[in-house]
């Protein structure tokens, strides 16, 4: 069996698994798995770019995914009336002042000679800058948050269309904005943290992700914090709205032709619309990643990964290349995060969890095969399928195990209740087994 036949077979098996859940459970579940699988695949490409190509240990994926979601709110939702005039400009001004403070500190650190004068002036600038920032920021933020707090209280987005629901092109633009926002954050982080050793970088990125989530939870003016943003527009017309589809005579005749009732047909149509768009994005990114891998740039990256010292001796600028690929990979994670928020139709900062959004993506990349884009994509679909299906399987297993126990016994109910927590255990087990017996993953790097 040749390499390519084996790989195709692996993809066919995963597709078969998803189809199987369509036949045995419901098509709704199957398409849900497919859609999140597509998004996970994009995240996996991003992590694979950083880890597989360049050997950068980034465990802050969650932060970039969340930033993508934030960008969707800041771009594709309608603006809150009066938010900008009451405090929006003040917030922007205060943020600029804050940035100016940091820049001033960096300049002082660079220009003044080392010594007590330098240290004191840096501390002075920081203290003065902080108080000016708070003096401008606090009233502005309070003013924005006071506007209709039950449904708004945030700046809102840039969706100035008269019917925000139908501005589909802006939603797609918001995905790219998500990538840009994540890239900007990654540039800032990379500038400070990339010089660190691998495990320090890991801790640093882990911390940054937590900070990003903390900011999104607390800054209500930005995206309502833990009050969540609902009703985020969809990429219309590829993805419609169920109620409208059910009232559309053309759609009803088509649904009838497939032999589906209008409600099922409309939900399936909406989800398939997402699948179509996500597939296009995934294929485009996969193509670009493949091209990058094959190009001289990709070879240079792998050379740096395998031996930094030798690559540096050959005149490669290791720090710059690391920064470059860190930004690129994070941008891809940002795009995936933006797409996920659009798919959910809501931004809920409270649900971001590093186990789910950072470490699970890592499991996908390692299981699929780090350094191989197709491997990362395969791993993403497979692991996401398992992540969803382990719960029903676990429940079935627990019911089987507890068959002999009398009904209503404490142990039986505890075991059945705990079945939901099997997924973390299973993911860890899969990761350890793959690392032990097939450390290069299902589709190894060529």
Partner 1 sequence: MDLLNALVALANFVLVPAIAYGSQLALGALGVTLIYGILRFSNFAHGDTMAFGAMIAVLVTWGLQAVGVSFGPLPTALLALPFAILGCIVLVLITDRLVYRFYREQKAKPVILVIVSMGVMFIMNGLVRFIIGPDDQRFSDGARFLISARDFRAMTGLNEGLAIRTSQALTVVVAVVAVALLFWFLNKTRTGKSMRAYSDNEDLALLSGINPERVVMITWIIVAALATTAGVLYGLDKSFKPFVYFQLLLPIFASAIVGGLGNPLGAIAGGFIIAFSEVTITYAWKKVLTYIAPESLAPSGLVQFLSTDYKFAVSFVILLIVLLFKPTGLFKGKVV
Q: What residues line the site for partner 1 (CB under 8 A)?
A: 55, 57, 130, 192-193, 196-200, 202-204, 206-208, 210-211, 214, 217-218, 353-355, 359, 362-363, 366, 417-418, 421-429, 431-432, 435-436, 439
User: Considering beta carbons, is residue 12 or 99 the nearer one to partner 1?
Assistant: 99
Q: Rounded to an integer, what distance in angstroms lies between the CA atom of residue 322 and that of residue 342? A: 30
Phi, psi of 347 (to 5 degrees): -115, 115
Alpha carbon 441 to chain centroid, angstroms: 22
Omega cis (within 30) before 237: yes
CB of 248 to partner 1, least distance (A): 44
Least Å distance, CB 149 to partner 1, is 17
User: Of 19, 22, 67, 21, which is closest to residue 43 (Cα–Cα)?
Assistant: 67
Give least dist CB 432 to partner 1, A. Answer: 4
Q: What single string gives the DSSP state of each residue in 308-320?
A: HHHHHHTT--HHH
- Closest Cα partner for 140 from 226, 219, 230? 219
Q: Which is nearer to partner 1, 409 or 418 (CB)?
A: 418
Closer of 393 and 424 to partner 1 (Cβ): 424
**In a 10 Å sphere around its CB, with 0-12 CB exposed, 13-18 middle and 19+ buried, how is residue 184 labelled?**
middle
Q: Which is nearer to partner 1, 128 or 214 (CB)?
A: 214
- Segment (H or E) for 193: helix 168-193
> What whole-number distance in Å separates Cα of residue 156 and Cα of residue 112?
42
CB of 312 to partner 1, least distance (A): 18
DSSP for residue 226: G
DSSP 328-384: HHHHHHHHHHHHHHHHHTSB-GGG--HIIIIIHHHHHHHHH-TT-HHHHHHHHHHHH
Whole-number minimum distance, CB 207 to partner 1, in Å? 4
Report the residue number, 143 or 366, with the smaller CB distance to partner 1.
366
Minimum distance between the CB of residue 275 and partner 1, rounded to whole angstroms?
29
* CA separation for the pair 331, 43 (Å, rounded): 10
Closest CB to partner 1 among residues 131, 287: 131
**Least distance in angstroms from the C-beta of 56 to partner 1:** 10
Considering beta carbons, is residue 89 or 425 the nearer one to partner 1? 425
Question: Nearest 5°: phi and psi at 241?
Answer: -115, 135
- The distance of closest approach from Cβ of residue 158 to partner 1 in the complex, given in angstroms and rounded to an integer, is 27
Cα distances (angstroms) measured from residue 376 to each of 29, 285, 304, 341, 381: 23, 12, 21, 22, 9
- Nearer residue to partner 1 within complex by CB, 111 or 436: 436
């Amino acid at each position: 069996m040749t390499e390519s036949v084996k790989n195709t077979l692996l993809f066919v098996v995963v597709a078969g698994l998803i189809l199987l859940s369509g036949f045995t459970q419901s098509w709704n579940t199957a398409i849900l798995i497919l859609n999140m699988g597509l998004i996970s695949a994009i995240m996996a490409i991003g992590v694979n770019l950083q880890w597989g190509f360049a050997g950068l240990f980034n465990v802050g994926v969650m932060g970039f995914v969340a930033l993508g979601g934030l960008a969707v709110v800041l771009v594709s939702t309608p603006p809150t009336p009066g938010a900008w005039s009451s405090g929006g400009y003040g917030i922007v001004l205060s943020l600029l002042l804050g940035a100016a403070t940091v820049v001033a500190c960096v300049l002082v650190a660079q220009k003044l000679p080392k010594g007590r004068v330098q240290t004191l002036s840096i501390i002075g600038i920081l203290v003065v800058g902080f108080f000016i920032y708070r003096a401008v920021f606090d009233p502005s933020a309070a003013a924005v948050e006071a506007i209709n707090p039950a449904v708004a209280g945030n700046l809102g987005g840039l969706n100035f269309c008269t019917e925000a629901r139908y501005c589909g092109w802006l939603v797609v633009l918001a995905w790219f904005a998500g990538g840009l926002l994540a890239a900007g954050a990654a540039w800032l982080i990379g500038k400070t943290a990339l010089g660190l050793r691998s495990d320090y970088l890991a801790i640093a990125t882990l911390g940054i992700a937590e900070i990003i989530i903390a900011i999104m939870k607390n800054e209500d003016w930005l995206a309502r914090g833990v009050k969540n943003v609902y009703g985020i527009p969809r990429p219309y017309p590829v993805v419609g709205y169920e109620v409208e589809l059910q009232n559309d005579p053309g759609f009803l005749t088509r649904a009838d032709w497939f032999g589906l009732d209008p409600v099922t047909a409309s939900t399936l149509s909406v989800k398939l619309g997402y699948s179509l768009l996500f597939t296009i994005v995934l294929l485009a990114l996969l193509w670009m990643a493949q091209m990058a891998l094959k190009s001289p740039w990709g070879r240079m990256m792998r050379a740096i990964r395998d031996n930094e010292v030798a690559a540096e001796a050959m005149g490669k600028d290791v720090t710059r290349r690391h920064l470059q690929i860190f930004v690129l990979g994070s941008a891809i994670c940002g795009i995936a995060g933006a797409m996920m928020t659009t798919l959910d139709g809501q931004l809920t900062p409270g649900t971001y969890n590093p186990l789910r959004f950072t470490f699970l993506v890592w499991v996908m990349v390692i299981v699929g095969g780090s350094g191989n884009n197709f491997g990362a994509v395969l791993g993403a679909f497979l692991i996401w399928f398992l992540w969803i299906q382990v719960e029903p399987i676990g429940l079935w297993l627990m019911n089987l195990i507890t068959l002999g126990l009398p009904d209503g016994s404490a142990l039986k109910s505890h075991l059945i209740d705990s079945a939901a927590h099997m997924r973390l255990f299973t993911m860890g087990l899969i990761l350890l087994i793959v690392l032990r017996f097939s450390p290069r993953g299902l589709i190894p790097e060529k």
